[in-house]
Amino acid sequence: DAEITQSPRHKITETGRQVTLACHQTWNHNNMFWYRQDLGHGLRLIHYSYGVHDTNKGEVSDGYSVSRSNTEDLPLTLESAASSQTSVYFCASSERSGGYGYTFGSGTRLTVV
Amino acid sequence: AQKVTQAQTEISVVEKEDVTLDCVYETRDTTYYLFWYKQPPSGELVFLIRRNSFDEQNEISGRYSWNFQKSTSSFNFTITASQVVDSAVYFCALSGVTSGSRLTFGEGTQLTVNP
């Protein structure tokens, strides 16, 4: 069965370190997204991609970067982790515009100490 | 710009009570899509419903029902005869045609159903 997986599920890192969160989907979706979830803010869009070699900034992109070298993967990198980036991160993919087939990963809980 | 507002941060009810979760949205798009997601304590996001802007018919699925009113820009969610298993955070979300597949989420409503 097709799926979208995130790794790791939990991560603790130190301030200033570079961290990469993985997202892999086997739906063959062109659209992929990264959101962060914080109490009182719901989920906010960090970066997104509509296809290979396409990346775009979302509303809270400062301090984050993504790359899309194939259809299946959209890794999220925190260049220099900060305590404000402690959050739960969700990766998602979708079949096409309009939210068709929107699928979320199980989330990565990141703690920056 | 798009915006989704869920004014109810927390709701607490007793089992078997009916409960309505409010969602108000803003968009300049004439074609858009509205969603509800459930996030149980385990943390995953569970899709509940997707509704497009041209379909204002209310929908019922078991104990769940949704009331979509374009005139008031609202997409409210009602749980009838609530159960403890309904305890979760519920998110309303919006995707406009000009935003591609990008979802704009509300802040979420924490629903607690007490036995």
Task: Tell me the mean pLDDT in the region A45-63.
Answer: 96
Asked if residue A97 has pLDDT above 90, the reply is: no
Residues A4 and A104: beta-carbon distance below 8 Å: yes
Rounded to an integer, what distance in angstroms lies between the CA atom of residue A91 and that of residue A104?
A: 6
- Contact flag B103-A40 (C-beta cutoff 8 Å): no
Task: Tell me the mean pLDDT in the region A66-78.
Answer: 98
User: In angstroms, what CA-CA distances link B73 with A34, A57, B42, B64?
Assistant: 27, 28, 31, 20
Q: In chain B, what residues touch A32 (CB-CB under 8 Å)?
A: none
Task: Tell me the mean pLDDT in the region A26-31.
Answer: 94
pLDDT class for A98, splitting at 50, 70, 90?
A: confident
Can you list the residues of chain B whose pLDDT is less than 50?
none
Task: Tell me the mean pLDDT in the region A16-21.
Answer: 98
pLDDT class for A44, splitting at 50, 70, 90?
A: very high
- Contact flag A44-B105 (C-beta cutoff 8 Å): yes
In the numeric block, which tokens belong to residue A50?
């509509």
A102 contacts chain B (CB < 8 A): yes
* DSSP 8-state assignment for residue A104: E
pLDDT at A95: 85
Radius of gyration of chain B (CA): 14
Residues A85 and A110: beta-carbon distance below 8 Å: yes
Residues 38-67 of B with CB under 8 A from A: 43-45, 47, 50, 52
